[in-house]
Amino acid sequence: MASSSVSPFSETHSQDLSPLQKHVAFFDRNKDGLIYPWETFQGFRAIGSGFLLSIIASIFINVALSGKTRPGKFSPLFPIEIKNIHMAKHGSDSGVYDTEGRLVPAKFEEIFHKHAHTDPNALTSKELSEMLKGNRVPKDYVGRLGAWTEWKILHFMCSDKDGFLHKDTIKGVYDGSLFEKMERERASAHKET
């Protein structure tokens, strides 16, 4: 009898993923549970990142996260294992994901209660920098760099014309829905041209 080889990260099983797994699963372009640098590159291009940013992001992300998600296994291809992505959580972050990659709603709301001074449902670049500074863990330079990079890229790509990064956009990053939405919008815009 042939066994079915459905990946645990296929569309039909995405409801079983933690929010953190959903956040990164978008970049698993072939849905095999592993994200290789070329898939990270393809994912960044799919959401509208430029060529250079996509290359830099794919190298930085895969080199930084591969070993953490694959303890004891080394590959020069630097794959990231989605099932273990919670092991790659870094310090100096917002705390919105717990240690298992689940959302902590109170921590999400805290971002806006503490830092959204101009608009209660959005962050300016200055407010984002304030949040990053407030979340710093002493001597956690790798975590600081990771947090700074993630948030600054998000602000660069997703803030509105007035420089606001809206709450629903940030929520979409955390629950894994934003990247798919960005890819659909980009594909739709290309069809219209």
**Domain definitions of the chain by residue range:** 7-88, 92-193
pTM for this entry:
0.85
Please return the burial class of 16, using the count of CB atoms within 10 Å of its CB with bins 0-12, 13-18 and 19+.
exposed
Q: By C-alpha distance, which of 114, 121, 132 is closest to 164? A: 121
**CA 65/CA 75 separation, integer angstroms:** 12
- Three-state DSSP class for 177? coil
**Could you tell me which CATH number the domain at 7-88 has?**
1.10.238
Tens of pLDDT along the chain (193 residues) come to 444 444 444 444 556 899 999 999 999 999 999 999 999 999 999 999 999 999 999 999 999 999 999 988 999 999 999 999 999 998 888 999 999 999 999 999 999 999 999 999 999 999 999 999 999 999 999 999 989 999 999 999 999 999 999 999 999 999 989 999 999 998 888 777 6
Where does residue 188 rank: exposed (0-12), middle (13-18), buried (19+ CB within 10 A)?
A: exposed
Query: CA angle, corner 121, sides to 117 and 122, nearest 5?
Result: 70
Residue 120 and residue 112 in contact, taking contact as beta carbons nearer than 8 Å: yes
